[in-house]
Every structure is written in structure tokens, then in C-alpha cells.
Amino acid sequence: MPLLVMKFGGTSVADLARIENAAKKVQAEVARGYDVIVIVSAMSGETNKMVGFVEGTSKLYDAREYDAVVSSGENVTAGLLALRLQEMDIAARSWQGWQVPINTTSAHSSARFISIPRDNIDAKFAEGFKVAVVAGFQGVSAEGRITTLGRGGSDTTAVAFAAAFGAERCDIYTDVDGVYTTDPRITNKARKLDKIAFEEMLELASLGAKVLQTRSVELAMRYKVRLRVLSSFEDTDETSGTLVCDEDEIMESKVVSGVAYSRDEAKVTLVRVEDRPGIAAAIFGPLAEAGVNVDMIVQNISEVEAGSVKGATTDMTFSCPTNQVARAQKAMEDAVAAGMITYDGIVVDSDVAKISVVGIGMRSHAGVAATMFKALSKENVNIKVIATSEIKISVLIDRKYMELAVQALHDAFELEKA
């Protein structure tokens, strides 16, 4: 039998009515001749409630017990969906992570997959079962303890099962009907994409698009798992949603596929840093050790003051999430105290946003940067920092211009056109 993986997020299983709706979608795929592995999240809001219980019980909690508590929501959903399917005369069984087993590392709350043996679930399919409902977000360590994969872990679980079982496709059911050229809440010209390449989706996910979790896209790209993003609240067929696939499946890509944004960015500048070999390592090493996610980096031209005994100095600018600014400042202060670096001061601008254009077509087309900068200039949007990659151009701008910039770029690249 061909096999399909279906994943339902928290809003798709938020109550018994939505669980029944999910069951009907599974039933439709079984009727098409598939064996189905369903990955479920906890009901919407349940994981946050469990986290609150843990934090209310113990401020310095045991990470092993934290995972035992917060993984319970997925177990409830899996059991309820299996029961609903059984009531529809579909042979279904629920599975917790340890029962599969989903073998992971022992890094509680941020575990990574080691292996997913097929034997137990394959045996049930051989007995005549049609659906395995698996609790997402969780696994089991070598020590036999429950582990969790971090936020968005159910998406990653779904892709991992699709890879392990050689599934024809992995369908991700969520509260949107696909991947759009940009956020439809910002511009009503946003268009749903029929297909998008793994590399583009990975860039969009890492830049702030919340349709898919970044780790799940990385895994899908590595194992060539075809993903389909579609709504659990609409009638769907084989052509619904957005297919995330290999570039070879897309006949002709637009130069730019989408515009992404992140409003929670900060620009940090170290003023008058000593300019010498190894200074970048001395700055960004401590930042990495402190867990600061540095993104865009700009180093200014060196200056040498007349009569200076320090020699050349430079300003070093980087961006990071706003909630990591304090951590970044502490890391730099510690680096000064350790004699690793010297600087005259730190300037933080927490009122910026990152805007990015993404497209695999950029590899073979010139002029994307010129079009982007011209569009922003026309709207009097000042660019503070620029960073580029093979399929992406990102800029930092004042946050108050974020929506204007997204709309202007969407128009400039004519993304509303198919």
C-alpha cells in the first residue's frame, strides 16, 4: 500500500469537533487507498498550560520532569483521534513516542532524532490496521526518559516519519491554506504559491514566516520529502495547498518568490573596536557561546587617529533578536573583562525590522538588488544594514516602515502575478 503522512497542528485539533474534522480528512485518504501515519500536536493552548504548571510548581525544574509533563498534551490528542477513527470503522491505533520508539538524544526540551525503527508500526499495518496516530513533539532517550523536540517539533516529527517510512508525501494541515508570497495581513495582493522549492521555504521559515518550522524544512530538504501545506478548515483535493519540493519539480521559477519580514530585530554596534587579526573571532565567539543568534554583520572601514597608540579602530555592527540584546551586551562585557576585546561603547537600536526578498531565480538573474533598493528609495525608506546570499537579500530598516516596505517590494517584483 502507498503510505501518506498527515500532520495536524494545535488549532486543527483544538476541540472534539475539530478532531472529528481531522478524522474525516484521514478517512478520505484511507478511502483513496493509503496507509496513513498521522502526527498530532497538543490541543491549542495545552502545551502553554502545561509549561505554566511546571513553572508554577518549580522555578528550577528538572528538565526530565518538564518533558514528561509538557509532552502529555500530544498523548491526549493521539488517543482521542484514534478513538474517533475507530468510531468511523477505521482500524487505527495511537502511539506515544516511546512505543514506536522515536529514539532521540538526551537533550531535554531540544532533543534531536537518532532513529525511528519501522518494525512496530509496520507490524500493525501488516495486521490490517490502516492508521497509526503518533504523538508529535516527543521521543525517548537511551536512558528511557521522555524527551521533547522544542517548539514546532510536531512538524519535524512528521517529516522524520515521512523520511523513515518512504512516504509518498507529508501533508501539513494548519490554519492557513498554503504558503503566500508575503503575509496576506500586510497586503491583500499576496498570492498563494502552488509550488515552492525547499531552499526558498527554508529561507522564508528562517526569516520569520511561521507556516513551517525551520528544522522540519531542513529535514525535508535533506531527505527529499515532498511537503504539502494546506488548511484543515477547508475542503481539499490533490491540487490544494502549496507543495514544497525539489527545485527540479518547478518548471520555471520567478526571480523572487516571496517577501519575508521580522519585526523583532535589534541592531547592535560596538564603537571603535581595535582592528586587528582575530578581532571578529574575539567578538562572535563569545556571542555564540552565550547563545546569541547573530544574523547580519557589517564592519566599517578602519580609522587611525593621529598619534594614537591603539592603532586602527573600526565599528562592528550586527543584528540579533531583540530578546537576546541583554545577553549579547553581557557577553561583550565579559569579553572586555577577560581582555579579549576593547571598545568605546555599545549602541543598540531595538526599533528596526528585517525585510528580505527570496527566490531561487536570483541565482541566474542580475538586477534584483537594484530593483529592491530603488523600490525602498522611492518610499523614502532608509537602509541601515544589507546582507545577501545566493537566493536572498535582506535589509534592516526602521520598524515603522516595515509594512510599507513589504508592500512596496511585493509590488516592485509583481508577486501578485502567477
Q: Which residues fall in the annotated binding site?
A: 7-10, 47, 74, 174-175, 180, 185, 210-211
Write the CA distances from 248 to 10, 58, 103, 255, integer angstroms: 33, 51, 32, 15
User: Binding site for substrate: what residues are annotated?
Assistant: 47, 74
Sheet with 113-115: list strands edge to edge. 113-115, 103-104, 138-140, 146-148
Integer Cα distance of 47 and 188 in angstroms: 33
In contact, 269 and 347? CB cutoff 8 Å: yes
- What 3 state SS string does the chain have? CCEEEEEECHHHHCCHHHHHHHHHHHHHHHHCCCEEEEEECCCCCHHHHHHHHHHHHCCCCCHHHHHHHHCHHHHHHHHHHHHHHHHCCCCEEEECHHHCCCEECCCCCCCCEEECCCHHHHHHHHHCCCEEEEECCEEECCCCCEEECCCCHHHHHHHHHHHHHCCCEEEEEECCCCCECCCCCCCCCCCECCEEEHHHHHHHHHCCCCCCCHHHHHHHHHHCCCEEEEECCCCCCCCCCEEEECHHHCCCCCCCCEEEEEEEEEEEEEEEEECCCCHHHHHHHHHHHCCCCCCCEEECCCEECCCCCCCEEEEEEEEEEHHHHHHHHHHHHHHHHCCCCCCCEEEEEEEEEEEEEECHHHHHCCCHHHHHHHHHHHCCCCCCEEEEECCEEEEEEEHHHHHHHHHHHHHHCCCCCC
φ, ψ at 290 (rounded to 5°): -85, 0
User: Binding site for ATP: what residues are annotated?
Assistant: 7-10, 174-175, 180, 185, 210-211
Nearest to 152 by CA among 5, 63, 42: 42
